[in-house]
Amino acid sequence: MKHALPFTLAAALLAAPAVADENAEAAADQPTAGEIELAELLEGREAGEPVRCLRHGQRDRLTVVDNTALVFRDGKTLYVNRPKGARFLNDWDIPVFHQFSSSLCALDRVEMHDRFSRIGGPVLFLGEFVPYTKPAKEG
């Protein structure tokens, strides 16, 4: 009986990583809240060829999708940018863009600032902008 406890404990410790791996795989299969929100924004739209930069006029409205992407609206076109460090995106924070030209381009910096304290937080680097448009109606 004395030896049964260490054996049981050892078996439990060996099984724990397998359970953790199963949980991690199950979580990876489930879309995040941000991915679901982005899918809703893009519903009915088709992706176009990515572009490196957006001119000032192509950035009418900005939507921050938590932990996922920055979405810029230009008329009927949505431009999706998934910056490096997107896991730090929070729609409660204010993005401050540090661009190196008159256009907002891939590799420009975005510093997230707390809405109340205005203290700078995570720094992200923009990727390419993927345009999404609604397909032309046939008829």
- Residues 57-72 have pLDDT tens digits of 888 799 999 999 999 9
Instruction: Give the amino acid at 102.
Output: S
Q: What is the pTM of this model?
A: 0.77
Write the DSSP string, 55-78: -GGG-SEEEEETTTEEEEEETTEE
Pair type for strands 109-113 and 94-98 = antiparallel
* pLDDT, mean over the chain: 85
Collect the ranges in the chain with pLDDT lower than 70.
1-28, 139
Residue 64 CB neighbours (<10 A): 19
Return the bridge partners of 70, or none. Answer: 64, 81
pLDDT at residue 9, rounded to an integer: 47
pLDDT at residue 59, rounded to an integer: 81
Q: What are the DSSP E strand ranges found in 22-119?
A: 46-47, 53-54, 61-65, 69-74, 77-81, 94-98, 104-105, 109-113
pLDDT at residue 103, rounded to an integer: 95
pLDDT at residue 57, rounded to an integer: 82
